[in-house]
Amino acid sequence: MTSTTTAVNPVLRVAPAAPAEAAAHFRASLAFHADVSDVAAALAAGGDPGFVVLDSRSAESWDQGHIPGAVHLPTALIPEQAEALLDKSVPVVTYCWGPGCNGATRAALALAELGYRVKEMLGGFEYWAREGFAYETWEGAGRRAADPLTAPVGTEDCGC
């Protein structure tokens, strides 16, 4: 007797959600996240971008490099200092080091619990620098060449 075993594709082991359910999920995700390129484009457009950028990392990390114009407020200090530094009528975009860190998520949660409208910037400072955007350090302005694996060479838009 021969038994036949059907191999199950690990990607489809759990079937994709129905289209309407998937649309609701991805629509909700966009309400909570912004990407580095969109934040950079909004800041580069000049004028009031309609949000404030918040770096939730330590003072040492801030000194090593941060987004120009960002507010520095480490996550642990948000409950006691947010109201002195941020206007609740202005949305906040949080960031930390990068994808391997959930500091921006924790900062966004702390701000949301205090009544702020907030999004998390995906990629954090790591991808800000890797995509070739200008940053500031304790020594002054800096900018790296764009990493061709994270930012298209010769364009300002990945086409997403």
User: Which pLDDT score, from 0 to 100, does residue 113 have?
Assistant: 98
Residue 3 lies in a domain: no
Question: Would residue 4 count as lying in a domain?
Answer: no
- Give a yes or no: residue 99 inside a domain: yes
The total number of structural domains in the chain stands at 1
> 39-77, pLDDT tens digit by residue?
999 999 988 999 999 999 999 999 999 999 999 999 999
Domain enclosing residue 41, as ranges: 33-142
Q: What is the pLDDT of residue 135?
A: 96
Note whether residue 75 is domain-resident: yes
Q: Is 20 within a domain?
A: no
Report the CATH number at residue 75: 3.40.250.10
φ/ψ bin of 54: left (φ > 0), alpha (ψ from -120 to 50), beta (otherwise): beta
Structure pTM?
0.87
Would you say residue 6 lies in a domain?
Answer: no
Q: State how far the Cα of 35 lies from the Cα of 93, in Å rounded to an integer.
A: 10
Is the residue at 24 inside a domain?
no
Distance of alpha carbon 134 from alpha carbon 33, whole angstroms: 21
Q: Is residue 159 part of a domain?
A: no
Contact 128, 98 (CB under 8 A): no
